[in-house]
Amino acid sequence: MVITEAPLDQTLVPPGLLGIDLEAFATEFGTPLFVYDEDELRRRCQDYVACIGEDSVTYAAKSFMCTAMVRLVDEEGLRLDVATGGELHVARNAGFPAERIVFHGNNKSDVEVRTGLEAGVGRIVVDSFDEIARLEDAMAAGVSKQPPHVLVRVTPGVEAHTHEFIETGTERSKFGFTVSEGVALEAVQRVVAADGLHFGGLHSHIGSQIERLDAYGRAIEILANLAREIGDMTGAAVEELNLGGGLAARYLATDPDVSVSTYADALRSAVAAHWLAGAQPHIVVEPGRSIAAPCAITLYRVGTVKEIPGVGTYVAVDGGMSDNPRPVLYGAGYEAYLPARIDEPRPLRCNIAGKHCEQGDVIVRDACLPEGVRVGDLLATPTTGAYGYSMASNYNKVPRPAVVFVRNGDARVVVRRETEEDLVRLDVIDSMVASAGSGSSGVREAKPHRTPRSDWSA
């Protein structure tokens, strides 16, 4: 990870968020604050459709999801990938067409399977033999009269050259059916033979933040060989080949910028090389990070500047791992800048720390900022549009930030900031309730429970 002392490379900032008054947004909406460039979100969706094709792009909701984002994806004509019953609920509540929903998840419950069938989702991606059995049982029970379009998720055994936590195509992955020992072929045979299920094709997602496109070529070759085996053994054709997502986003100025057109060309070339002419499947991709990440920045307020002799400088802000856990989880690197001084050199080497009770709560290690950073300064980190808000938590009982979409310099709130009242909204008060009409408020505090000393561990 290399962060230079030169002024920030402003290509990391969404174009619609340059030259506008971010301080005014911070004052109006508070900090931390996720700020998205709505036009850039739409442009990136359109770029994928232009390069991959109509009805061939599925937005991965896990990267960033809220009602406004679901509706934007709908308006741009993309499919929507959901991975849980909760994501499915948000999609349906937003009015997203069920037939354009792709239902993922490595451990769908009976309820989730039934809910997906009842909603009429367009694709169900099966991840285990247990899930196939759940689908068979649900269809036998008459949950849906329409056979679901089933894709079988395959782990092709390909290294994607990324962090192990987001590398999902190797044989040790918890996802999908491995090609080795004929497991994936057996899963397809099970789907093809099942009453009430329609085998629609294969799915493979080899990982995230992928910069080297050769990994896709190796995966496609393995999937093409599997498709031939499927045809020989079952007579079924692979109508659709969903290659997942994974295209890298650019977090640092030194990161490569892999274009969607280059990515699309690599996929098509590999399919053409390994699939028989006339038998090539419909290619589908599932971008999330590469759409959402570059479209947002996070605004923070500096609260403390601490110089430790012989160690360095900590610049502490009013957020941290509760709004961006990626640095802690994956060692992810980010840039940082002061919006009011974006054109200045950044000679101050520092760690930008969060406010949480964890030594590892550092948003940007070895960050570069202008000299003279002060308490109260507005600080921003770019490329935070994916896996920030969606992975946010209430650790240390910190309310989650608001999210705003900006268009033509105007901001609208799409997710309100949590309040301290929200932090106790789900708490259940002790059941020792005074009887009605006692004249009390109706609730009395329970007596504290004291564990006998003999029960204490030594």
Tell me which residues are annotated as active site.
357
**Tokens representing residue 56 in the block:** 């061939």
Measuring CA to CA, how many Å separate 135 from each of 6, 61, 112, 125, 455?
56, 23, 10, 11, 48
Give the separation between CA 256 and CA 15, rounded to whole angstroms: 19
Give the separation between CA 373 and CA 260, rounded to whole angstroms: 38
**Tokens representing residue 397 in the block:** 């009982």
Give the separation between CA 126 and CA 176, rounded to whole angstroms: 8
Beta bridge partners of 202: 152, 241
Tell how strand 312-317 and strand 348-353 pair up. parallel
Give the separation between CA 398 and CA 274, rounded to whole angstroms: 51
- Output DSSP code: residue 142: T
Residue with tokens 């699939």: 275
* Cβ contact 97:63 at 8 Å: no
Burial class (CB in 10 A: 0-12, 13-18, 19+), 280: middle
Give the separation between CA 343 and CA 345, rounded to whole angstroms: 7
* Cβ contact 379:297 at 8 Å: no
Strands (E) across 279-347 are located at: 282-284, 296-308, 312-317
Among 403, 399, 437, 404, CA closest to 418: 399
End-to-end CA distance of the chain: 46
Q: Collapsing DSSP states into helix, strand and coil, what is residue 399?
A: coil
- Output DSSP code: residue 153: E
Q: Collapsing DSSP states into helix, strand and coil, what is residue 154?
A: strand
* Cβ contact 216:270 at 8 Å: yes
Beta bridge partners of 415: 403
